[in-house]
Amino acid sequence: MSLNPLPIHISRFGGCTLTGALSVTTQVRDTVTIVHGPKGCTHHNFSLLHATGLDNDNISLPDLISTGISETDIIFGGEKVLERTLDMVAERNVGGIFVLSTCIIDTIGDDVGAVCRRHYNVPVISVPTAGFLGGTFQNGVNNALNAIADTAEPCLPGQGANIIGEKNLEYEVDENYAEVTRLLSALGIPVNLRFLRDCSLSDITRLGAARLNILRDDDLLGVGKHLQQRFGTPYISSYPVGLGGTIDFLETVAGGFGVKSTQAVLEEKVLQEEILCEFEDISGTSITFDQPDTSSDAIPVAREVAGRISASIESDGCVVPLPLSPPVGTNGIRRMLHRWRRAIHA
């Protein structure tokens, strides 16, 4: 039983379980996602995904279909309307169908899993996404990743690493990925699969072929463990975060692959020094952060970086922006410093 003792403050990544799952399933090419519920659940999410896509220069529309359940479906049960919708979508010659549930569907007790297990000539993947059960956006992401992972079979490991659980709705998703691949290639390690961003269901068959899974952040620990159980793949729990953290990342990944990190670490430290030198003009400034919320995950990195540029943190200092989530790698820190500089010189 889930309980919400108090009205809760909703952060960007806190919200709807359905939205979290959709941020994953809509990244699988050649599939349709059915949202089993009232029309509004689909409409709202379509708008959000579309708007976020446009922000990231992606003009394709998410392929969503609502079962559009009505009051009579709620009274008599919505399984029939889901079955009808599945039959209709299966005729469309798609690679696969995702079925996501909504709050009302789990309230009235539709057995969505049982309907999805019937035969439709295309793979049908059910993801439970009723938010009122206490789940968050992140639960939706994790449930979707785990459900999709279960379609892949264990296989022999290759040479690469998987990137697990990219935040597809974050503005810098591709910059962050580029930063991680830059660090991996410094160690000579290729990416096996982005799980999950812009791939097809057939790409997912190679999910088990990675030597290491790199989780976007530690909110994905459940997925990391699930993949480890299913494929035996070890994982590291986060993208590189912070100057020292980026060096640690290189060493940990190198250790996982049994390769030497000495050269890559040396070069990265040089790069970090060069970047810090770029920002000499704001060295020694007194700063304060724009978010009063001291529990922000970005605070430790911000403090580390402030220390390295000899900026002092004081309550009456110049207000500088904290990123929504911690900056990724050395280049994430460079972008953060650019924003600080703009704030300081403003």
Number of residues in contact with another protein under rule CB under 8 A:
13
Question: Considering only residues 10, 55, 76, 158, which one is a binding residue for another protein as defined by CB under 8 A?
Answer: 76
Question: Considering only residues 11, 56, 72, 202, which one is a binding residue for another protein as defined by CB under 8 A?
Answer: 72
- By beta-carbon proximity to another protein, the closer residue of 114 and 259 is 114
For residue 212, give the amino acid letter.
L
Q: Which of these segments, 1-9, 104-112, 167-175, 256-264, binds another protein (CB under 8 A)? A: 104-112
- Identify which of 141, 132, 135 has the alpha carbon closest to the alpha carbon of residue 223: 141
Q: Which of these segments, 68-76, 204-212, 244-252, 270-278, binds another protein (CB under 8 A)? A: 68-76
Instruction: Please state, in angstroms and as integers, the Cα–Cα distance from residue 207 to each residue in 3, 155, 190, following that order.
Output: 36, 8, 14
DSSP state of 284: T
Instruction: Give SS3 for 64.
Output: strand
Using rule CB under 8 A, residue 1 touches another protein: no
CB of 205 closer than 8 Å to CB of 28 = no
- By beta-carbon proximity to another protein, the closer residue of 39 and 342 is 39
Using rule CB under 8 A, residue 132 touches another protein: no
Does the bond joining 212 to the residue before it have cis omega, within 30 degrees of 0?
no
Question: Considering only residues 1, 3, 6, 75, which one is a binding residue for another protein as defined by CB under 8 A?
Answer: 75
Instruction: Please state, in angstroms and as integers, the Cα–Cα distance from residue 172 to each residue in 167, 191, 327, 328, 332, following that order.
Output: 9, 19, 9, 9, 9
Using rule CB under 8 A, residue 109 touches another protein: yes
Question: Considering only residues 74, 173, 271, 313, which one is a binding residue for another protein as defined by CB under 8 A?
Answer: 74
Question: Considering only residues 27, 34, 64, 79, which one is a binding residue for another protein as defined by CB under 8 A?
Answer: 79
Instruction: Give SS3 for 335.
Output: helix
Using rule CB under 8 A, residue 107 touches another protein: yes
Which backbone phi and psi does 276 adopt, to 5 degrees?
Answer: -60, -35
Which residues form the interface with another protein (CB under 8 A)?
71-79, 107-110
